[in-house]
Every structure is written in structure tokens, then in C-alpha cells.
Amino acid sequence: MNLPLHFGLLGTLEAGLIALLVGLLVYFLWHHLCRLLHWTVGHAIGWSCVIAVIISAGIDAWKLFYMGIVRLESPLYARLFLSTIHDPNELGSRVVLEIAGALSGVALGWVLFSSRSSEKTVD
């Protein structure tokens, strides 16, 4: 996400919380768009999950994937690549919490913004 976060577990939790807020905001926008276009709630949930994960965890997930695929045999290349990562020790856990936070934000948005029939009372 390229934000100035703390290092270690605190930075990982901050990234997960920011991803939760991103998921909530993205679902809010898709919920209103789907209501306007008369689409089902499945479209709002599905597209919100995809876009929230791309926004919140995209860069870190790409760096994690790239680090696993590319050969970093030279110490110079490894040092240059690791200098582009904010906290290389916590990269894997940060990606996991960003994805979980984004999906949790979408789920929380669905709970908050969807009108459920169970709240209506029958007289």
C-alpha cells in the first residue's frame, strides 16, 4: 500500500485495518451502483472483494510473488530488491492480513448496508 506504517506486528495490523476500511468503502460504492443498475447483491459482493483485494494487497502480493519467482542469486540484486519493500520480514503476514481485512470489510459492509428481511416485523 506504500503508506508509512510501523514495522513488525503493529505495521501488519495497521495494514489489515486499512484494508478493512478499503473493503468497507468499496462495498459501499458497489452497493449503490448495483442498486442503481438493478443488479443482484452477488455482483456487489463479488466485485467489491476483487477490487478491495487488488487495492489493498496488490503491491505487497506482487512483491511477495516476484520474490518467490525471480532468482536473487547476487547479493547486490537481493539487496536492491529488498530495499524496495517496507518491512521484508513481515511481508507474508502483511499480505495475509491485507487480504483478510479487505474481505472482512466487504462482509461488514454487506451486513451494514444491505436491507435484510429479518428486521421487518409482521403484524
Give the residue among 61, 48, 68, 66 at the shortest CA–CA distance from 93.
Answer: 61
Q: Is 22 a domain residue?
A: yes
Q: Copy the grid coordinates of residue 58.
A: 496488490
Q: Is 10 a domain residue?
A: no
Q: How many domains does the chain have?
A: 1
Mean pLDDT of 39-64: 91
- pLDDT score, position 115: 67
**pLDDT tens column, 59-107:** 888 888 888 777 777 777 777 777 778 787 888 899 999 999 999 999 9
- Global pTM reads 0.81
- Domain limits for position 75: 18-115
Cα–Cα distance measured from residue 102 to residue 108, given in angstroms and rounded to the nearest whole number: 10
Cα–Cα distance measured from residue 101 to residue 99, given in angstroms and rounded to the nearest whole number: 5
